[in-house]
Amino acid sequence: MSYNLLKGKRGIIFGALDENSIAWKTAERVHEEGGTFVLTNAPVAMRMGEINKLAEKTGSQIIPADATSEEDLQNLVSQATEILGGKLDFVLHSIGMSINVRKGKHYTDQNYAWTQKGTDVSAMSFHKTMQTLYKQDAMNEWGSIVALTYMAAQRVFPDYNDMAENKAYLESVARSFGYFFGKDKKVRVNTISQSPTPTTAGSGVKGFDGFIAYAEKMSPLGNATAMDCANYTVSLFSDLTKRVTLQNLYNDGGFSNMGVSDAVMDAFVKGQEE
């Protein structure tokens, strides 16, 4: 169902890899709601993914960019405004990576060079992106910038490893930069803290199926899907959320306010009895 919420709006969507990814679903929904955009991803991710299919489907151009490179980002932003014919109204940052997670390094046994790389890709890239947009004055007033995060920024999920710090850093950048973007340019900046979602990126986390099953049992509405996240993002890109900024918004079926649920307690008691 389309409401034309983003008619005439232009933007950049980072991080679409394949059709499981939240950025991919968001691009599809933005397109349905009348928004136009350029797609971007790291050159290596583009070789792995199927982003050309998405570009074709949404009539979008792809600009490869390494989000950790200021030069690449400057080029991306100036090309995007040129291709789209004006300043931007929305940006989605949907990037995260931990080499420690990928290579099975335990949290208590980090390779710090990998940790640093992960922080750069997952969190500092958000600051670099916003700094580039800010310096180039590339956002329209009442524009909206959204980054995707996870509740491991606030609570302990042992296997989420150093990604937890990356997300905490990301959320802090959203607030700090969001202040300046709001005050100086009337642009809003928020993060969406999403349920664990079976994406290609997410499934790299050890015990991920357990995360998903547990969150499903804990949440009164069940887990939010990638499509739920896409819809929520569309609402944040639209003019209906004009004064929502500096927020970390939970799209998680209620998980974040739960202590315990009947379903989890029943499973626990049953396990004890066995």
Reading the block at residue 196, the tokens are 């664990």
The active-site residue, picked from 150, 169, 214, 232, is 150
- The annotation status of 172 as a binding-site residue, yes or no, is no
Contact 58, 28 (CB under 8 A): yes
∠ CA 259-265-270 to the nearest 5 degrees? 160
- How far is residue 100's CA from residue 59's CA, in Å, rounded to a whole number? 37
- The annotation status of 12 as a binding-site residue, yes or no, is no
- Is 112 an active-site residue? no
Bridge partners of 147, per DSSP, are 93, 191
DSSP assignment, residue 205? S
- How far is residue 137's CA from residue 131's CA, in Å, rounded to a whole number? 10
- The annotation status of 105 as a binding-site residue, yes or no, is no
Reading the block at residue 147, the tokens are 């980054």
- The annotation status of 167 as a binding-site residue, yes or no, is yes
Domains, in order of start, for the chain: 10-273 (3.40.50.720)
First to last CA, the chain: 48
- Is 160 an active-site residue? yes
pLDDT digits (tens, 9 = 90+) for 144-192: 999 999 999 999 999 999 999 999 999 999 999 999 999 999 999 999 9
Q: Report yes or no on whether pTM surpasses 0.75.
A: yes
Reading the block at residue 94, the tokens are 């949907």
pLDDT digits (tens, 9 = 90+) for 205-261: 778 888 899 999 999 999 999 999 999 999 999 999 999 999 999 999 999 999 999
DSSP assignment, residue 206? T
Task: For the chain, give the percent of residues with pLDDT over 90.
Answer: 91
The active-site residue, picked from 134, 160, 214, 232, is 160
Contact 144, 174 (CB under 8 A): no
Predicted confidence band at 201 (pLDDT cuts at 50, 70, 90)? confident
